[in-house]
Structures are given as C-alpha cells and as structure tokens.
A and B are shown apart, each in its own frame.
Chain A
Amino acid sequence: MTGFVDLYTEGNTFLHRVDPRVKITAVILLSILAFVLSSLEALAVLLAFIMVLVVLSRTPLAKTAFSFKFVFRLMLLIVILWPLFDRSGEPVIASFGPLVLTEPALLRGVTSATRIGCLATVWYILMFTTQQRDIVRALVKLGIRFDFGLTLAISLRFFPTFSATIGSIMDAQRARGLEFGKGGPLKRTRNYVAVLIPAIVSAMRTADGLSWALQSRAYGARLDRTYLRDFKMKWSDYLALAAVVLVLVLPLTAKYVFGMEL
C-alpha cells in the first residue's frame, strides 16, 4: 500500500548521499540525452549506464523488479505495436495479409522502446535513493514556489491515505453484496458511483480539515519563511555535477561536432 508510491530505501551509498539537487539535475540531463541520442547502440549504452546506477543504489531486488515490471511491459508493448503503424522500408521480414513487418520498422520500434526505457528508469534512480520530502525540498531550493512544493508534498503524503480509503470503501460495498467487474454497463457504472461518491465525500472532508490545519499553523504568515531542512553543496556534489555534465556534453560533442552517428 505505502510501498506503491514510496520507492525509497534507506541506504548510505554515494547515490544516497549526493545532494538531491544534483540528482534532479542529473535526471533531467540524462533525459535530455535520451531524447537527443538516436542510434540504438548509443541508447543501449545509456540504458546500461542507468542500470549500473540502479545496481549501485543497492535497492532491494524485489522493489527494483516491482518498479521495472511496468517499464518492461511498456517497452514490450512499443516493440509490438510500433510495426503496426510503421510499415515503411525494406527488407520485409514477415507479412500476414495486410500486416507487414519490415526490418527498419522493427529497428525503429526497438530504438523507441529503449529510449522510453531510459526516460522511465532514470527517474527511479532519484526515487530509489531520495526521500520524497528531500525531492520536494530540493525542488523548492531550485526555485519552485513553496506553495507548489507543498501541494506536491501533500499529494504524495495523502496518496496512501486515499488509496486505503478507496480500499475500505470497496470492501464496505462488497460486504453489501456488490460485485465489481460483473454485470452490464449500466450496473458497472452504478458500481463505480458506489465507490466514487463516498470517496469524493471523504476527500472533501479531508480537504476542509487540511485548509483549517494549514491556516492554524501560520501558513502564509510571512514571506521570509525559514526551513528546518537544508542542503549544502559539498565538493563531492560539485564533482558529481561535473561528471553528469560531462556525460551529457561528451556524446553531444561527438554527435554534433565530430558528426558521429550516435
């Protein structure tokens, strides 16, 4: 239940200790790289690099497997679906009636899947090694308005609460003989209403209470708010940042300055 959103595992690896702002920057830069690279080989190297980082984060295998399951499913789906829409090029590998599978299309499918794989997994490095509150705090330090950071924090904080509530509501209706996933469309709609209405009512109550609680804890009292938690860039953080920038700049230089096909 909680595990679903909180991917963080306590640890003391280099990835845990590095300043969250550097990690966020790294994730963004690596994402840019994934967009820019176009060759399958280069993207595969990038994906492998990300995987090495994931291994270095010493995240328990169960959690990694759980998180990557979705990514691999998505990648597989792309590989399968891509050739359905992209039928250009030669040679044709196979054809079933109007469906043709060409080699370039397959390659493009695998390439896109790898890119998506990079884009999705790179975020896990951040999530696996950084507490949610530090991510939010880092975003605020990077210049995001405090209210937005707080909104994000509250959403993350209430996700488990809200999913537990939905679970209880579904249980409560099942105890009254309601069977989810059975019956015609009309009945199914009604089933959803039976969950949706109590969920909305409960969310509205929580929201009301929340706004009172925020005000009575002096939210918005002053503009020069202070923060208990703070990060200071250490020399190792600058080093890490430099390394990350290099990881972006080197391939870009190779590609655009020296014209390598990456």
Chain B
Amino acid sequence: MIPAPSPGQGDDKIISVRNLRFTYEGGVVAITDLSIDIRKGDYVALVGGNGSGKTTFAKNLNGLLRPSSGIVTIRGRDAARTAVPELAKIVGYAFQNPDYQLFCATVEEEVRFGPLNLGYSEDDIRRKVERALDAMNLQHLRDKPPLSLRLGERRRVSIASVIAMDPDIFILDEPTTGLDTEESDMLMQKLQNLNVEGKTIILITHDMRLVSEHAKRVVVMSVGRIILDSDPRGAFSDLEILRRSNLEPPAVTKLAHALKDKGIPADVISPQELVFHLLRGGESR
C-alpha cells in the first residue's frame, strides 16, 4: 500500500486519501477502498460511469459526507474533524445541477451568498465577488435573475459562486453536461485559467474529449474504486479499462485502435493527430 501521509512534509500534497470506504445508510457501499494523493496545482479528471462513486468521493472531500472508514486529509487537516464551512474555504464544490442552488434575485447576490456565509468582511466579499464574476465572464449578467438564464450561464453562475469563496481546490461535478461545444469550450477555458493561477482542479466527467484536451491526470473509477490513474494518453491506450468503467473512447481513438497493427499509435485522441499519423509516411517519402 501507499505509505501513510506524514503531515508537515511534502506540503504540495493538498489532498491525501487513505483507504477511504463509504457506505450509505441503506447499506450501499459506494466507495470500497480508495487511496489517492493530489498535488497542489494538479488538474485531475475523475471519470467513470454513472454510479461508479465519483460524486460520493467528491462529497467525502468537502465534508458533506464523512468517511465510513479511512482518512481524508485536506491541506494537512483531517477532513472528518473539520466543519463543512471551514472545508468550504479550501474545497469548493460545484454541483452537477446548478438549479439545486440558485435562489437569489440577482446573479450578484447569488455569488455573494457563499463568502457571506463564510463571514468575510464586506470589503473582502466585494473583491471576491468581482473576481468571481470576472472569472466566469458574468459581469454583463450581474443584475439578471439567475433562473432566467440559459443552462450554460446558470452553470457559470454556480461555479462563480464557488470561486467567490476562494478555495484552493475546485471540484466540478459534470459541469459540461447539456452544454453546447461553444459554451463547454468557454467554460473549460475559464477552468484552465484557474488552474494556471495555481488552483487544483478536479473535473468529474464522462466526456473523454474534454479529458484528452484539458486534464493533466486521469483517474478512472469503477464500482467504488480507482482502476486506473495515469496521464490522459495512458487512459486511452487501454480500451478494456474504459469499457470496464462504462466509458466509451472517442471515435478517433476507436479507429486508431482498429488500425493499431497497421502502425498507428493506440493513444490517438484527435482527428488531426490521426490524420497526421496516417499521412506521415506518404509525406516523408
């Protein structure tokens, strides 16, 4: 097993999970045995089919759920012994469905709600809200009622309301479901910016295209455990692993696999790349 984390040393390890197990009240074991370390500034894609335990894992990181056994350490603190609002300052979590949280009369109020709860000073709150509105490109919508906005915009409001709490870690639960390519690309760009600023990103998704384009590291979950932890390309070179976790590789990856014995690398993830490999021989001759 991985050695237990030692506090103090290796402080770039912002999340450390050891032998996490989580059982719901009805007896469903959603996380069987999960250990992982995540470094500050990492961009992790957490993938797996519906019901594989991604959301349950995320809720164990921000204290909404407490481990049945095992230890979750966030920035050196035992998550099980830290109050949810305290954790919320470190771990921000944007729910899959933005409509589960939007209730204010304006976007601005919605974004203020988090930092207000956390008891920051008025000046502080104002600064954080402005930054969050900027980060999600919402300035022009700040006086609009959130419920009147399109889905893509509502998602951005919900993420902005997390940014405003100024956490170091962002967990986003399937943030692009239902969005158009354009909206989804814009959102991913904004997340990329946060990552460049040094924030740690955990992106829960089953869109393998997003994974291939944005993540630095892919963690594949299946029935409550991690079955693969690698760089994005590694995740695509093993179709069996993806199938086992109810995921489908992008069509080009499938095509590349079909052409594997013709000399095409199996970890191709974009059409451009595939065509490059296909025509490379022809060009060089």
Contact = CB atoms under 8 A, between A and B. Distances in A.
Interface stretch (A13-21, A191-199, A225-233, A244-252): A191-199
Nearest to A169: B100
B162 A193 contact: no
A159 to B, nearest CB: 15
Contact of A165 (B64, B100, B113, B162): B100
Interface residues of A, number: 23
A183 to B, nearest CB: 10
A171 interface: yes
A65 B21 CA distance: 28
A196 B102 CA distance: 11
A168 B95 contact: yes
Nearest to A195: B103
**Majority-rule SS of A interface residues:** helix
Contact of A172 (B25, B26, B95): B95
B97 A168 contact: yes
A194 B100 CA distance: 9
A172 B55 CA distance: 12
Contacts, number: 67
Contact of A175 (B62, B103, B115, B147): B62
Nearest to B97: A168
B165 A171 contact: no
Nearest to A3: B26
B102 A198 contact: yes
A24 B277 CA distance: 73
Contacts of B89: 177
Nearest to B119: A177
B103 A174 contact: no
Interface in B139-165: 147, 161-162, 165
B64 A179 contact: no
8 contacts: A171-B64, A172-B100, A175-B93, A176-B117, A177-B117, A178-B117, A194-B101, A197-B103
